[in-house]
Structure 1
């Protein structure tokens, strides 16, 4: 499954499985999702990131951090 880089409200970047209109492990909220942030170790509002807005180092670091697997 393809992973998407997302950012939480506190700025944490990580990769997540993001399927439009489907959420197995999150609560959807107006285009965002409330899901577990592995960077801050708490539930956060999360949205996909425009990859062109990230540096190569940010993208690489985010790809190394994964959220919870689908149960």
Structure 2
């Protein structure tokens, strides 16, 4: 059983996948933005990825 919350993200190449590790780091007083560098399982490269919006997730599930 996976007790970690998973985040659905889209990499810079457009691949959508879920990840258990999507750190929301802080830089001084301001956030550095929603994107993070993580390894995409489809293209196997370190890519910039952003969380997928809830409405977009529903649209993806319909297709």
Moved over 6 A (4+): none
Tell me the TM-score normalised to structure 1 length. Answer: 0.60
Figure out how many residues of one structure are paired with residues of the other and give that number.
Answer: 52
TM-score (norm 2): 0.66
Q: Which residue of 2 aligns with 1:62?
A: none
Equivalent position to 2:24, from 14, 20, 23: 20
Q: CA RMSD in A?
A: 2.2
Which consecutive unaligned segments of at least 5 residues does structure 1 have?
23-28, 59-71
